[in-house]
């Protein structure tokens, strides 16, 4: 099943002058596939990710996620879609430092409001357990290491059981050992939990271990290769 389909995506910046940053981008990602998007700084990969994540709606073309066309939807519809179907892992963890790890993980589910607070707390603990962080659940996020913070951020991305996890340099702030830990977690989520993973990365070693690499240059996809 196709998890993501991008058709002829074009994106322009208009200041100081008009500039086309994405040029007729078309590709598909299958459910349960781990895809890394690579390319030099300024090639358009982060811009593309923000369009794929529905956070940027100012583009030409059509985007389909989880077999739903999301292009043209209103902002409140997109926000609800993201909360229900997408999980995000960024270079910086964006945890609330004074909240416990458990509470940080619970926040997206509390916002979605589909199940009871008791169930959300249980689910959040299970996600932390999955990521080897259950023993840190009641610690403030500011009191754990950077690698542990990123694992909590992944648990938070999983709390609403998303179909697709998107990462913007998810290991960019981590050392080699923690980068390997985070990659192994993402790979396990992909291959065992059948999550679709789409990451933008400058780390060629990270990309080389994913299922497929999409290479960009000057707003174009110039190469796609399977591992």
Q: What is the domain partition of the chain in residue ranges?
A: 2-226
Q: Report pLDDT digits (tens) over 21-69.
A: 999 999 999 999 999 999 998 899 999 999 999 999 999 999 999 999 9
Reported CATH class of domain 2-226: alpha beta
Contact 22, 11 (CB under 8 A): yes
d(CA 129, CA 123) in angstroms, rounded, equals: 10
pLDDT of residue 175: 84
Place of tokens 């707003």: 219
What pLDDT band is residue 193 in, cutting at 50, 70 and 90?
A: confident
In the three-class reduction of DSSP (H, G, I as helix; E, B as strand; rest coil), residue 56 is classed as coil
In b/e form, how buried is each residue of 35-51, taking b as 16+ CB within 10 angstroms? bbbbbeeebbbebbbbb
Among 225, 101, 82, smallest CA distance to 153 is for 101
């Amino acid at each position: 099943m196709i998890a993501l389909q991008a058709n002829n995506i074009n994106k322009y910046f208009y200041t100081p002058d008009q500039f086309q940053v994405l040029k007729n981008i078309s590709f598909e990602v299958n459910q349960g596939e781990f895809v890394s998007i690579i390319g030099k700084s300024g090639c358009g990969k982060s811009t593309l990710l923000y369009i794929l994540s529905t956070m940027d709606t100012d583009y030409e073309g059509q985007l389909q996620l989880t077999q739903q066309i999301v292009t043209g939807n209103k902002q409140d519809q997109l926000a609800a879609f993201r909360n229900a179907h997408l999980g995000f892992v960024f270079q910086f963890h964006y945890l609330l430092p004074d909240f416990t790890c458990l509470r940080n993980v619970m926040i997206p589910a509390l916002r979605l409001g589909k199940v009871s607070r008791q169930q959300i707390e249980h689910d959040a603990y299970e996600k932390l357990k999955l990521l080897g962080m259950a023993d840190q659940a009641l610690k403030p996020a500011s009191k754990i290491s950077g690698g542990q913070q990123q694992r909590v951020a992944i648990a938070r991305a999983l709390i609403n059981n998303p179909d697709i996890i998107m990462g913007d340099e998810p290991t960019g702030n981590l050392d080699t050992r923690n980068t390997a830990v985070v990659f192994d977690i993402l790979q396990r989520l992909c291959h065992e939990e059948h999550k679709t993973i789409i990451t933008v990365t400058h780390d060629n070693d990270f990309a080389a271990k994913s299922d497929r690499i999409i290479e960009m240059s000057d707003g174009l996809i110039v190469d796609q290769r399977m591992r």
